[in-house]
Structure 1
């Protein structure tokens, strides 16, 4: 800006000096310039000076704008760092209380982490990871109610913490969730499920692992859930006692039940729609319990039962709604 101002002042001075010098010279006719010629020259000089002044004004305005933008950027960065500092402080306090001896304190920590995940998009996955890690930790064995009723009550209270985590995750996976966690990674590897979980009308579009999970008790509902992307894995999961409903829509991504063992649960795919993506039951063992594919629509995508073992469970494909894209590897004697 200083250079521009110096050039502008120098150019203005030279123009004025040149105009004054020219006015002192004779014209082409040998006469001194007339008043009209003087005024025309003065107009030209003033126009040029005005143009230079305009350029200077533009430079000054541009520089002010740059300074303002830099100051605003610094202010935003400062505010962002302060926000992150506050978020990290909230995270440390909440996660630290998950190990408290009181179930009430743990419940407060769970709600605090879920609220932080809603507020802090950049740290959302970190909060979800902590909640999932809590579910992966093995619960304490159930005390005998008759021998120690107080310990049994405390154990039930701790179970409520797990139930609350499942509920909060499911609520945020609903299609109409105000602040959805769709697309987040959910690691439930090795969890033991022995209570009711409601994943009704949820959306699974990220990386979700139920690998080696044990569905031991309770009712787990995926009714109306939509698997639309990512990879959802139930590989090596054991369906050993819970009632599980997969009346879902498989419309994209990859859902794998590879090497899972249906060994004692009632698992219902009744009314499910296989529309797109890939669903694999490869190397799955149907060794006990009841598995229903009644009224299922195999309307698209790729469904595979390669090397599946139908040795003990009651598996039914009654009144299949749509066979237009039949599964691969399904034994001929089981198709109806």
Structure 2
């Protein structure tokens, strides 16, 4: 008997039916039976008379029911006690086995037997044609319908729970699959990134150039890694390099011995076909190595500017399909402090924060119509060619402190939304700020203007500081230059041995006060 009960409980666990659910169904059934208007005492008396009249089979049936109830009670108490004692430990579950075929047929026979027994009991108790028995039968039918409906609701809840568990399992599987794909993609990107970085460290120019294009492909296919790719390209351009046209005083490359220079020289033919080059009698030449490195650096510059070129329309929407932006459409940052750049072209580009401090610009440096959405730093920068900042837009502060402009510098129609600092800057040729908008403070403290300088129609909204500014007067510098309102040039000697005629900028009220003091001093002298 105990084996049968254990199999019954295992079957319940296998079909995922909770004991608490069975207890609830039993309580609902008892309540429904108690609510039905039936004379249960008469029904029990009739059932007892039927058992007595049945003789031995009836008593055997009653005894079997009692034994089953007693065994079930004892078994339940024992299991409850064992569960309370072993609540900390997890009970090991046996392997899940499918429901045997005989259990299905046994359940069908049990259902038929219960239905036949219930029908026999109802007919025996309410089989007469009296109206009262008819009402009782109708009430029993209604109670049975309610019980069946309750069971159906319980079955629906179990089915919904099973469906939800299945869907959650599928979602978890999909999420795990997506995480696995993401991890695989990240590993692949990391491997490609590492391989490209190793290529940039190669002593062969074609290998370094291949590494640059590999990095570009990674950034094109992985938007989340674009800032990292830009940072690596900027780091490569910040590496020490001596430009062929640079002044030896500007050389940032460590001095190498003759033997090291010979080993470092890598002509293109020697890189691609060393045996053929050696057979042709070619030797490794440092100038060729320098030329190849210049081509690699120009490639890095072009890759940067191509993906920062927005070509925005009238609504400010970028139209360039190769334009790169950061997360949530933010602009990418540039860190080229101390870099050596050749014919730099950032025209019509959009960047976030930009650092060009102490950078060397050889050839033309184009920044026209560029948008600096973050801080722009050009402090200590050296412009050895034409510096074009026409129509540039500086959304935050812009620093040109101690900048050195060896060629013409044009800032026509540029907009500085915050402070513009040109203190200690040297303009060796013409500097034009026509129609420039200074919406913050304009600081030109102790700047040196060697060429023609113009602030025609410049718009100053903040404090303009031109104290200590020196301007050369014999290089076509107009005598009535359109300086900011309140400033004028007074010819003076800088006292440091400079060639030519120079003048310094002073506030207009200072010159008027000096002139008035001079007139007052001349009047007593004339009277004497």
Q: TM-score range by the shorter chain?
A: 0.7 to 0.9
CA contact (8 A) 2:349 2:369 kept: yes
CA RMSD of aligned residues (A): 3.1
Unaligned runs of 5+ in 2: 1-12, 44-131, 245-260, 262-282, 311-317, 470-480, 486-528
The answer for the alignment partner of 1:26 in structure 2 is: 39
Which moves more between the two structures, 150-159 or 265-274? 150-159
Give 1:18 shift.
5.0
3-state DSSP of counterpart to 1:56:
helix
The answer for the alignment partner of 2:464 in structure 1 is: 328
The answer for the alignment partner of 1:209 in structure 2 is: 355
**Distance in 1 separating the partners of 2:31 and 2:424:** 96
Give 1:90 shift.
0.3
Q: Would the alpha carbon gap of residues 210 and 38 (structure 1) be closer, same or farther in structure 2, given more than 3 Å must change?
A: same
The answer for the alignment partner of 2:28 in structure 1 is: 15
CA deviation profile, 1:5-56 (whole Å, cap 9, x unmatched) = 44333333443455457669328xx966622111211121122222222221
Q: Would the alpha carbon gap of residues 283 and 196 (structure 1) be closer, same or farther in structure 2, given more than 3 Å must change?
A: same
The answer for the alignment partner of 2:403 in structure 1 is: 260
| Higher RCO, Cα 8 Å, sep 6+ | 1
The answer for the alignment partner of 2:271 in structure 1 is: none
1:105 corresponds to which of 172, 189, 207: 207
Q: Would the alpha carbon gap of residues 38 and 289 (structure 1) be closer, same or farther in structure 2, given more than 3 Å must change?
A: same
**Distance in 2 separating the partners of 1:10 and 1:199:** 78
Looking at CA atoms only, which structure, 1 or 2, has the larger radius of gyration?
2
Query: What TM-score, normalized to structure 1?
Result: 0.83
3-state DSSP of counterpart to 1:25:
coil
The answer for the alignment partner of 2:414 in structure 1 is: 272
Larger strand fraction of residues: 1
Give 1:117 shift.
1.9
Residues paired across the two proteins, number? 319
Query: What TM-score, normalized to structure 2?
Result: 0.55
Unaligned runs of 5+ in 1: none
**In the alignment, does 2:287 pair up with 1:152?**
yes
Q: Would the alpha carbon gap of residues 4 and 122 (structure 1) be closer, same or farther in structure 2, given more than 3 Å must change?
A: farther
Larger helix fraction of residues: 2
Write out aligned runs for 1:1-336 (5 A): 5-16=18-29, 18-19=31-32, 25-26=38-39, 34-140=136-242, 142=244, 150-175=285-310, 176=318, 177-178=320-321, 179-181=323-325, 183-193=331-341, 195-205=342-352, 207-215=353-361, 217-228=362-373, 230-239=374-383, 241-250=384-393, 252-262=395-405, 264-274=406-416, 276=417, 278-298=418-438, 301-305=439-443, 308-314=445-451, 316-320=453-457, 323=459, 325=461, 328-330=464-466, 334-335=483-484
CA deviation profile, 1:150-185 (whole Å, cap 9, x unmatched) = 543332122111111111111111123434145323
